[in-house]
Amino acid sequence: MRFQTPLILASALAAGSVAFAADRASDDDKYEIRDIGEPENCITRSSIRSTDVIDDQTIDFKMRGGDIYRNRLPNRCGGLGFEEAFSYKTSTNQLCSVDIIHVLSQTGGRLDTRSACGLGKFQKIEKIPKEESAD
In a domain, 37, yes or no: yes
In a domain, 83, yes or no: yes
What's the number of domains the chain is made of? 1
Query: Domain of 99?
Result: 6-129
In a domain, 102, yes or no: yes
pLDDT of residue 23: 47
pLDDT higher than 80, residue 41: yes
pLDDT of residue 1: 43
Confidence of residue 132 (pLDDT cuts 50, 70, 90): low
d(CA 44, CA 10): 22
d(CA 16, CA 115): 16
Q: pLDDT per residue over 64-120, tens digit each?
A: 999 999 999 999 999 999 999 999 999 999 999 999 999 999 888 899 999 999 999
d(CA 107, CA 105): 6
pLDDT of residue 116: 97
In a domain, 92, yes or no: yes
In a domain, 1, yes or no: no
In a domain, 118, yes or no: yes
Rg of the chain's alpha carbons, rounded to an integer? 15
pLDDT of residue 17: 62
Complete edge-to-edge strand list for the sheet that includes strand 48-55: 31-35, 122-129, 68-72, 58-63, 48-55
Contact 72, 120 (CB under 8 A): yes
pLDDT of residue 121: 98
In a domain, 88, yes or no: yes
Tell me, rounded to whole angstroms, the distance of Cα 2 from its chain centroid.
13
Question: Looking at 40-54, 58-72, 99-113, 120-134, which range is the least confident one?
Answer: 120-134
